[in-house]
Amino acid sequence: MSEAQWWQRGIFYQVYPRSFQDTNGDGVGDLDGIRQRLPYLAGLGVDAVWVSPIYPSPMADFGYDVADYCGIHPLFGDLAGFDRLIAEAHRLGLKLVLDFVPNHTSNQHPWFLEARSSPNSAKRDWYIWRDPAPDGGPPNNWISNFGGPAWTLDTASGQYYYHAFLKQQPDLNWRNPELRAAMHDVLRFWMNRGVDGFRVDVIWHLMKDPEFRDDPLNPAYRDGEPEVSRLLQTRSTDQPDVHGIIAGLRAVLEEYGDRVLIGEIYLPVERLVTYYGDNLEGAHLPFNFQLLHASWTAPALARLIEDYEAALPKGGWPNWVLGNHDRPRIASRIGPERARLAAMLLLTLRGTPTMYYGDEIGMENVPIPADQAQDPWEKNEPGLGVGRDPERTPMQWDGSANAGFTTGRPWLPVARDHAHRNVEAQSADPHSLLSLYRRLIALRRTAPTLQLGSYGLVGTAGEALIFMREHEGERFLIALNLGDTPRGDIALPAGETHGRILISTELDREESVQGGFWLRPYEGVIVQLAKT
């Protein structure tokens, strides 16, 4: 245990600041609200709080269009408020991780305003500019991830600038050494204030094909999919020299010692694992999003876990994610029964788990009327179901008006079920999903085996997924029945005679087992086997 890093042992919890807690009645969450709720997070048992962007921004993409990397948007507070937040987090034993958005800025950032002022500007090369194609159109076929072309013409200079997302989010040129140095100083600014690490937004986008060749067409594209799916982004993303850039970021963190670098990466597993870097000099944790897209059947999950474990480089530490601010909530994807199984899976697999706010009470996607939609992607491509507002709605703290989130009008509507699906109600229910999360986290925190132990697939029995965690003679068998029929035939592994069920997802079983045990539909159990 003493040799493991805190980010290997710990549990991360993502806070979407706009939706966590509002303290001034404007309907938008703020830093004081996060600070007010830190005791809840410490009591839940998580170790690190990851805070989505809080920087000054025009909010074209809700903070992912940064206008100042070293400030706080007035909506959320100020730097003094941030300092109070981090001091209180550390007092409670919590780490604080900031979202870092290095791929692009706002078009209102002073850097871009200067770059756009003249082709001869000292900061012109801090962004990506290209002459038009021979026909006067965009330089290549790259598509914005939010729909439409990824190039916008600057009529004053006659050149196009590149933006992988909104036209208000011009991409930075990481090939420029002055830009890299400036961004490294941003990291130092926040670490000097005590920040414990960074989650790096769209890290696989940072480098583009130096020749700006077209992305190839996607032969699997179907009508009705987002426009960006028409292409395979093999030239506009995931370039070989991105790993040198990430190693540079990592080197800055190493100046400060015990910090963590997390990378957002939506790539197949064989590409994902390259972001650990040569000699593990890349991201400590390249986010593993496979559970966001998984088929929740026992054979599919078993294969997914095995393939990921096999792909990890030697010494690479695994991690798992069930949800985030860009993907539908887990309870909506797989249903409330399986959401309890997902909690047990997340907190018993080998590797660092990341939770998304509200998943611990089973929050579901909230339908957003078209006239209340906020997400720019949804506005750019309406009717495709790409909107991310449904998973960003206010945290449900209690059964009062607006779920205890705000005294004003919330920026997004609160779920209709908040009167019974909330922290206060579930804290009083010993069988609630929140109670299950608390029990699982408490066990994980006291059991080195669940933090650092080896993983071994025992097998599948129909829709039951069974695996083992082992460390220094302590062994846990985890069995998850993902099906709607009971299983009365779950045998202990060969050579095992007895054990004890420590936790059931239903929180109503703690019993000895001999030879084998049974599982109800959608039930999971953790069995402690006799020590070897």
pLDDT band at 3 (very low <50, low <70, confident <90, very high): confident
List, as one string, the DSSP characters of 458-493: EEEETTEEEEEEEETTEEEEEEEE-SSS-EEEEEPP
pLDDT tens digits, one per residue of 128-183: 999 999 999 999 999 999 999 999 999 999 999 999 999 999 999 999 999 999 99
Q: Whose CA is closest to 37, among 358, 325, 441? A: 358
Q: Whose CA is closest to 92, among 45, 25, 136, 127? A: 45
**Does 524 map to a domain?**
yes
Contact 283, 263 (CB under 8 A): yes
Residue 449 tokens read as 């085996």
> Does residue 532 register a pLDDT over 80?
no
**Does 171 map to a domain?**
no
Report H helices in 68-203. Answer: 79-91, 110-117, 177-192
Q: What element of type H or E holds 499?
A: strand 498-504
Report CA 140 to chain centroid distance, whole Å. 31
Q: Give me the half-sphere count of Cα atoms (radius 13 Å) on the Cβ side of residue 416.
A: 3
**Does 168 map to a domain?**
no
pLDDT tens digits, one per residue of 261-271: 999 999 999 99
Would the CA dihedral through 188, 190, 195, 201 be positive or negative?
Answer: negative
**Does 36 map to a domain?**
no
For the chain, the farthest-separated pair of C-alpha atoms sits apart, in whole angstroms, at 78
What SS3 string covers 362-424?
CCCCCCCCHHHCCCHHHHHCCCCCCCCHHHCCCCCCCCCHHHHCCCCCCCCCCCHHHHCCCHH
List, as one string, the DSSP characters of 219-279: TT--TTS-GGGGB--SSSS--TTHHHHHHHHHHHHHTTSS-EEEE---S-HHHHGGGG-GG
How many structural domains does the chain have?
1
pLDDT tens digits, one per residue of 287-299: 999 999 999 999 9
> Does residue 313 register a pLDDT over 60?
yes
| Distance, CA of 383 to CA of 386 (rounded, Å) | 8
**Does 459 map to a domain?**
yes
**Does 467 map to a domain?**
yes
pLDDT tens digits, one per residue of 23-39: 999 999 999 999 999 99
**Does 337 map to a domain?**
no
Q: Which residue range is the domain that position 509 belongs to?
A: 453-529
DSSP category for residue 98? E
| Distance, CA of 53 to CA of 73 (rounded, Å) | 9
**Percentage of the chain modeled with pLDDT above 90:** 97
- pLDDT, mean over the chain: 97
CATH number, domain of 506, equals 2.60.40.1180
pLDDT tens digits, one per residue of 47-103: 999 999 999 999 999 999 999 999 999 999 999 999 999 999 999 999 999 999 999
Q: What is the identity of the amino acid at 153?
A: L
The answer for residues whose C-beta is within 8 angstroms of residue 524's C-beta and 6 or more apart is: 340, 341, 344, 345, 478, 479, 480, 481, 504, 505
pLDDT tens digits, one per residue of 96-136: 999 999 999 999 999 999 999 999 999 999 999 999 999 99
**Does 291 map to a domain?**
no
pTM of the model: 0.97
Q: Whose CA is closest to 421, among 472, 375, 358? A: 358
> Does residue 1 register a pLDDT over 50?
no
The pLDDT of residue 270 is: 98
| Distance, CA of 336 to CA of 330 (rounded, Å) | 9
The pLDDT of residue 397 is: 98
- Give the Cβ contact number of residue 125 at 10 Å: 15
**Which of the residues are catalytic?**
201, 255
